[in-house]
Amino acid sequence: MRTLGVEEEYLLLDPHSGLPVPLAEKVRAAAGPRPLRAEGELHSELLQSQIEVATAVCGDLGELEEHLLRLRRAVGEAAAGAGCRVAASGTAPFAGPVPPAVTDDRRYRGIHADAPQLVDEQLINGMHVHVGIADRATGVAVLNRIRPWLPVLVAMASNSPMWTGHDTGFASWRTVVFGRWPVSGPPPAFEDAEDYDRRVRALMRTRILRDRGQLYWQARLSERYPTVEVRALDVQLRTGDAVMFAGLVRALVDTALEESERAAPFPVPAPELLATANWHAARHGLSGELLDERGGRRPAGEVVGRLVDHLSPALERSDGGGEVAAFAGRLQERGTAADHQRAALAEGGWRAVLELITTLT
């Protein structure tokens, strides 16, 4: 099995008001060194009201689930000890009049100086899936083949409809907020690894980006690990759902590699068409229609079905593949996490939303 790992970002919220609280350092201190097992499993994010976990390199989905459950429990217990709650929501449902505090780190302070309003509104949390690859050339071939499917992942994993005390009307408002950075959204198509590196160097020469970490494409080559990193997903309410999405991403990479080896043709949607598909997916989730991998407008359930069919051979070969396919197939009927947040708001008001996003973590 191809190796994989996951990073998850969470919000730290006041248990009564639901407002973000700058307690990341207290939570980190309370969580270590046990039950954490390795350095780097838990670290701060851009804002002091966020925290991130990172799993070890995992060989299968069962191992990944064990790590995510352990890390979520560790962070949840540490947060309770620090007087706050962990929220697995793609956006903060509430925000106070004072901008959130930036983590005291030279890089983060610099990013805030470059784009203060964007950083002040960066109360968003994603899930990043790393899948192991042999080399950068292989990675670029994967990026080119998975990019048409990224909007479908955005719709399926949507978990950020609420923002500063109101329903945005979007299923993934996080996608919209993140899209305001200079390099973001679905990546372009690249000729090869040399083209990827050449274009990244050109971006860095502008000195608008502080480092390659600000290449906020929804899929990119990791600069630290021999992996393709898919960043299109909102953080998930449930650990089990996070594991299923990781399985989908791994199958996407496996399928891309298999197709690349036999030089199978693949769709290369124009950047403007892919951007439109991405925006539409963020707006509607699975509640209506989506653009498929070739730009055709179809019912969301049909597009998800096309994705599962596309991944079917890879899923059949992988551990947990049947569960992943079944999860994707029933997701529209069960509803996305964004649908669950809206249902909680309708049934129990904002308190119910707070309970939902902090209890299932």
Tens digits of per-residue pLDDT, 71-101?
A: 999 999 999 999 999 999 999 999 888 999 9
Instruction: Taking residues 217-232, report their average pLDDT.
Output: 96
pLDDT value of position 302? 97
The Cα 95–Cα 302 span in angstroms is 37
- Chain segment 238-277, per-residue pLDDT in tens: 999 999 999 999 999 999 999 999 999 999 999 999 999 9
- Residue 162's DSSP bridge partners are 167
pLDDT value of position 56? 95
**pLDDT mean across residues, the chain:** 95
Contacts (Cβ under 8 Å, ≥6 apart) of 187: 143, 147, 217, 218, 219, 220
Question: Residue 33 pLDDT > 80, yes or no?
Answer: no
- Chain segment 287-345, per-residue pLDDT in tens: 999 999 999 999 999 999 999 999 999 999 999 999 999 999 999 899 999 999 999 99
pLDDT value of position 213? 95
The Cα 360–Cα 305 span in angstroms is 27
Element (H, E) at 174: helix 173-178
b (16+ CB within 10 A) / e for 138-168: bbbbbbbbbbbbbbbbbbbbbbbbbbeeebb
pLDDT value of position 96? 87
Question: Residue 1 pLDDT > 90, yes or no?
Answer: no
Specify whether the CB–CB gap between 329 and 308 falls below 8 A.
Answer: yes
In the chain, DSSP finds a helix count (H) and a strand count (E) of 13, 13
What is the three-class DSSP state of 93? coil
pLDDT value of position 360? 67
296: tokens are: 């055709």
Q: Where are the beta strands (DSSP E) in 238-343?
A: 289-291, 297-299
* Residues of the chain above pLDDT 70, percent: 97
Q: Which of 24-33, 39-48, 189-198 has the lowest mean pLDDT?
A: 24-33
Specify whether the CB–CB gap between 182 and 147 falls below 8 A.
Answer: no
The Cα 42–Cα 8 span in angstroms is 10
**Number of folded domains that form the chain:** 1
Specify the pTM: 0.96
Find the domain containing 234 and state its range: 4-359
Q: Residue 185 is part of a domain; what is its CATH number?
A: 3.30.590.20
Give, as one character, the DSSP assignment of residue 213.
G
Is pLDDT larger for residue 229 or for residue 36? 229
